[in-house]
Amino acid sequence: MTGATAYTGSTDRSRAPQAPVLEVDELTVRFARRGEVGTQAVDGVSFSVAPGETVGLVGESGCGKSVTSLAVMGLLPQRGVQVGGSVRLDGQELLGAGDRALRKLRGADMAMVFQDPLSSLNPTVTIGTQVTEVLKEHRRLTGSKATDEAADLLDRVGIPDPRRRLSEYPHQLSGGMRQRALIAMALACSPRLLIADEPTTALDVTIQAQILEVLRELVQGSGTALVMITHDLGVVAGLCDRVHVMYSGKIIETAERRDLFARPRHPYTGGLLASVPRLDTPRGTPLTPIRGSMRDAIPWAEGCAFAPRCDSGRDDCLTEVAGSTVPLESDGSGRELRCRHPLAGPPVAGSPTTSGADR
Amino acid sequence: MTASLGNRRDKIDALAARAGQLPADGGGVSLVRSAFRRLRRDPVAIIGAVIVVTFLLVALFAPLLAPRDPLEQALLSQVRQGSIPGSQDGFPLGVDQLGRDVLSRLIYGSRQSLLIGVVSTVLGAVAGMALGVLAGAFGGWVDTVVMRFVDILLSIPGLLMAISISVLLGQNQYALMIAIAVTQVPVFARLLRGSMLAQRDSDYAVAAKALGVKRSKIVLGHVLPNSLSPVIVQATLSLATAIIEAAALSFLGLGDPDISRPEWGAMLSSAQSVLSFAPQLAIYPALCIIVVALGFTLLGESLREALDPKFRR
């Protein structure tokens, strides 16, 4: 259980009073084409990440987690998108910053690893060219120096025989190696902030574990702030210090990893945990899915967006809050919750308990 | 049991050895190389390539291959009103109405036809791609202006445009090349713009942007190389059209005025007056044009398949 002690270490560090690397304050993203009713993809999301801390954004497809990350990086298209609120990297405001300023920051101070390692690499260019490109752009390395550094980077993320890999094309690498190469590119300038957008979704389970290990070592070694975007609770359990659960564009629950797994408060979080298969239940025990799908969400202004799918939902989830959204309120030490009728005790039988967090 | 195990181990060893050899042939297997490998297995591509290469060799070694001087009026004395000598000793395809050896003229003519085809296609492709990159990379109003200009070019029938331009530029072979090139521009511009637009929002372009790569570098280093394959295919197909168009212009009397350079289109044109009693003088150059155009088209079609991502392994 070396992992467990490591988590404690990083959790302790995150509690130390350090200026956060990334502060996201009341971020809103609205997709609206002219003459159409817009979609509120992200609705007042606030969180911060300290150096060396790993923060997870969790939620199912369409809850706004990827859009949040793209907004932080300034990668959303400029047309038809309205971004509001504030995003600060080391105190510097990113929203509204010029293209040139953002380009200098991207790759150097903040970097991102995407979901699909094959389509995120240019198929017509060698790995070496793509890795050295970043080094040339931000570190002004050229020629053999850049090549040496690129090989060193590939070596650091655990790619064997890096010299040979540099002259190969993306399709010649395995999925895990491609994702490592992408991580190497993201790490080329030791960024202060790394956003990983479902970095393991396209990979099989063994490779997932290796990639997570690479990311964990990175965070612990260099004090990089890591934002982990995922729908995989296993990844959360293995890597994150703090977790923000998102639903329909809003954060609905925030907690330390252990607290979240031990005592989920929001019915949605409870539902997510209940739908994870477990080894210690008897064979044939059915999983407990969450009813309905993301499409059943109602606008936050009409009540709790999760209410139509919620098992503990009552009438006042919809009526009492009409006109104002359910607020995100403090819920004990280090926890925040957006719910009228939270789950009280330990999670229902047959659903995960604390052991998930100690994996 | 042991035997089958040993057998299987041998097989695995052989596989491993083969796998080990693959990267040895030059480090990376690039897109171009894997496309080439597929081309070699495609009979259609081989037929096309054989035709094209044959004609290229003929054009290259015309002085060595031609049995006679294409301008020498060797059998002029035998040409009568209403009869032109056909195939005979030393003149396998007969002579034309001025007593010149047809085979030698066809062989020398391939130089001119291929030259015009290649040069005008290259010119047209370069100009069209420049416009396409401009439109595809900047988008917005640049895209609109460039594309409307291209639409105007496209709305004029190709041959009509070529005729107007070659009249405008005077009668020489460079005017001919430019005229044909201009008719090729819109196709290349539209094609490249379209495929660049499709690639511009691709994951790797966003990933490069997320790493702080300059926009110009993303466009030229990432988006452009991935958008080129339809353009390469179009270029081989355009070669065929260019050769046909060059012949058409020569036939219309807008070709190269220099009679010392035989050309298939011009040969067709001059055969017109003797078509009733010497149709072979029109058939031979027409066959040449058809076969070369067919060769380039076959090659282009199979290249399209070879570069198609759906067939890529």
Predicted confidence (pLDDT) per residue in B292-303, tens digit: 989 998 988 888
For residues B158 and B183, is the Cβ–Cβ distance under 8 A?
yes
Q: Residue A323's pLDDT is what? A: 56
Higher pLDDT residue, A347 or B296?
A: B296
Quick one: how many helices (H) and strands (E) in chain A? 12, 12
The sign of the torsion formed by the CA atoms of B100, B102, B103, B105 equals: positive
Q: Is A196 on the interface with B (CB under 8 A)?
A: no
Question: Quick check: B213 and A133 CB within 8 A?
Answer: yes
Closest chain B residue by Cα to residue A187: B211
How long is chain A? Answer: 359
Q: Is B207 on the interface with A (CB under 8 A)?
A: yes
Mean pLDDT of chain A: 82
SS3 of residue A330 by DSSP: strand
Q: Summarize pLDDT for A50-109 with one digit per residue, the tens.
A: 998 999 999 888 888 889 999 999 988 888 888 999 999 998 999 988 888 999 899 899
Q: Which residue, chain included where needed, has tokens 């703090």? A: A242
SS3 of residue B276 by DSSP: coil
Q: Summarize pLDDT for A105-140 with one digit per residue, the tens.
A: 998 999 999 888 888 998 888 899 999 998 988 888
Token pair listed for B177: 């090349």
Position A276 confidence tier, pLDDT thresholds 50, 70, 90: confident
Distance CA A261, CA A281 (A): 17
Q: Residue A357's pLDDT is what? A: 41
Q: Summarize pLDDT for B67-125 with one digit per residue, the tens.
A: 888 887 777 777 777 677 777 777 778 788 787 888 988 999 898 888 888 899 999 99
Q: Residue B301's pLDDT is what? A: 85
* Structural element, H or E, at residue A225: strand A225-230
Of B30, B210, B217, the CB nearest to A169: B30
Q: Residue B308's pLDDT is what? A: 66
For residues A64 and A43, is the Cβ–Cβ distance under 8 A?
yes
Residues of chain B with Cβ-Cβ distance to A168 below 8 Å are 23, 27-28
Compute the nearest-CA separation of B202 from chain A (Å): 8
Q: Which residues contact B20 (CB under 8 A, 6 or more apart)?
A: none
Which residues are paired to A330 by β-bridges?
A336
Residues of chain A with Cβ-Cβ distance to B203 below 8 Å are 114, 116, 119-120
Of B31, B211, B221, the CB nearest to A185: B211
pTM over 0.90: no
Q: Is B206 on the interface with A (CB under 8 A)?
A: yes
Question: Quick check: B214 and A116 CB within 8 A?
Answer: no
Distance CA B38, CA A330 (A): 63
Within 10 A of A59 (CB to CB), how many other CB atoms are there?
A: 27
Closest chain A residue by Cα to residue B210: A106
Q: Summarize pLDDT for A214-263 with one digit per residue, the tens.
A: 888 888 888 899 999 988 888 888 889 999 999 988 999 999 999 998 88
CB pairs under 8 A between A and B: 87
Q: Is B203 on the interface with A (CB under 8 A)?
A: yes
Q: Is B36 on the interface with A (CB under 8 A)?
A: no
Mean pLDDT of chain B: 81
Which residues are paired to A247 by β-bridges?
A250
Q: Is A119 on the interface with B (CB under 8 A)?
A: yes
Compute the nearest-CA separation of B145 from chain A (Å): 20
Q: Residue B13's pLDDT is what? A: 55
Token pair listed for A241: 């210090």
A4 pLDDT more than 50: no
**Average confidence (pLDDT) per 10 residues, chain B, 313 residues:** 53 50 42 75 89 92 84 74 72 80 89 89 93 87 92 88 86 86 92 89 88 88 86 85 85 78 85 84 90 90 74 50
A2 pLDDT more than 90: no
For residues B73 and B100, is the Cβ–Cβ distance under 8 A?
yes
Distance CA A301, CA A307 (A): 12
A219 burial via Cβ count (<10 Å: 0-12, 13-18, 19+): buried
Position A322 confidence tier, pLDDT thresholds 50, 70, 90: low
Residues above pLDDT 90, as percent of chain B: 19
ipTM rounded to 2 decimals: 0.79
Q: Is B212 on the interface with A (CB under 8 A)?
A: yes
Q: Summarize pLDDT for A32-53 with one digit per residue, the tens.
A: 877 777 788 898 899 999 998 9
Of B204, B212, B221, the CB nearest to A120: B204
For residues A188 and A138, is the Cβ–Cβ distance under 8 A?
yes
